[in-house]
């Protein structure tokens, strides 16, 4: 089992310290990654919590599953394994696509214009 847990349905008012305190009751928490909205700076309502070992993460899942926190049920589940990232960003791949298509569009247009002028 994975040491990393996904925790959804968190109250938007929760901070990393609150999530750490909630999970530290069931073992040592090595990392809390609370996902924050860039525009508002507010929590997006989910986090990734890394426990020290798989037994502690299993204990946290068993004890916290179905627990109400500020009126909402928590469903902690094992987080999927991280996959290796693809080199380059989405923006660079997109610019490569648009760059090629714009090049072909303009070369086609200039080719037509050149033919029309030659007549």
Range of the domain at 29: 4-78
pLDDT under 50 in the chain at which residues? 94, 97, 102-103, 105-106, 108-109
Provide the pLDDT for residue 74: 84
Domain annotation covers residue 12: yes
Domain annotation covers residue 95: no
How many structural domains are present in the chain? Answer: 1
CATH code of the domain in which 28 resides: 3.30.70.330
Please indicate, yes or no, whether the overall pTM of this predicted structure exceeds 0.85.
no
Domain annotation covers residue 41: yes
- Torsion sign over Cα 53, 56, 62, 63: negative
């Amino acid at each position: 089992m994975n040491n990393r847990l996904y925790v959804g349905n968190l109250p938007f008012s929760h901070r990393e310290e609150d999530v750490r305190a909630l999970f530290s009751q069931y073992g040592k928490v090595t990392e809390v990654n609370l996902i924050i909205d860039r525009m508002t700076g507010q929590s997006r309502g989910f986090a990734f919590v890394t426990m020290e070992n798989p037994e502690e993460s299993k204990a946290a899942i068993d004890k916290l599953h179905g627990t109400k926190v500020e009126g909402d049920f928590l469903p902690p589940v094992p987080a999927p394994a991280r996959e290796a990232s693809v080199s380059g960003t989405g923006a660079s791949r997109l610019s490569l696509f648009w760059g090629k298509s714009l090049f072909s569009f303009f070369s086609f247009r200039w080719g037509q214009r050149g033919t029309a002028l030659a007549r």
